[in-house]
Structure 1
Amino acid sequence: MYAGAALKDSWSLADVGISFCSTLKCFVKEEDKPTLYVFNAVTQETMPMMENISLLSKKVSDLRTLVALRCGFPVSVFCLRTPNGMEMYDCNTLRDYQTDIGTAHYI
């Protein structure tokens, strides 16, 4: 922080007028961000999946089970799709579909 304002990572200190020998207050700011998102085409809602990052190395079937528990649909009535529309198969891992933190999938 400088002069009561939170500084952003992308800012240059000189650009915001911080001069030599100025005092900055540093702190750790924790944010809970979803591991990934799932867009439900039926309800038009985006569900944030707040699971552990280890979810990304699990199988698609594990994610489908979590989605079914969250939205109430039986696992047998929906499939997951990648952001570009490719169907995801239960036996593959999420990493097989280049799933990374913050990726949005579709049902």
Structure 2
Amino acid sequence: MTRVAAEGRKYGQYLLVATQRPGKLPENVLSQCDNLALMRMNSRDDLDRLAALFSYVPESLLAEATKFGLGEAVVGGRFVRNPTFARFEGRLTVEGGADVPATWARARDESA
């Protein structure tokens, strides 16, 4: 992951990193990220680390992440003109998984 983050662009490869704990990622990976979409974050340590790495996003905006509700985020980087608050509305797809039968998970001798 670190190598792709650091060298991938020159080969036309990009890395999308999604995590609930940015503090557990190598700093070399996060420092290569050009964009940030930050949803609710409770860890003050993680927010402090993100503030240092994504200095183009005001700390006051990052601090709001502790109060976000469902679908709310801070976005910053090359994909927006200025760091800003964003709200994502509803799903476009049906949530899956509920209609998948659990029979595939049984051992072969149990299903006979």
Q: TM-score range by the shorter chain?
A: under 0.3
With normalisation by structure 2, the TM-score equals 0.23
| Higher fraction of helix | 2
With normalisation by structure 1, the TM-score equals 0.24
User: Which structure's relative contact order is higher, taking Cα pairs within 8 Å and 6+ residues apart?
Assistant: 1
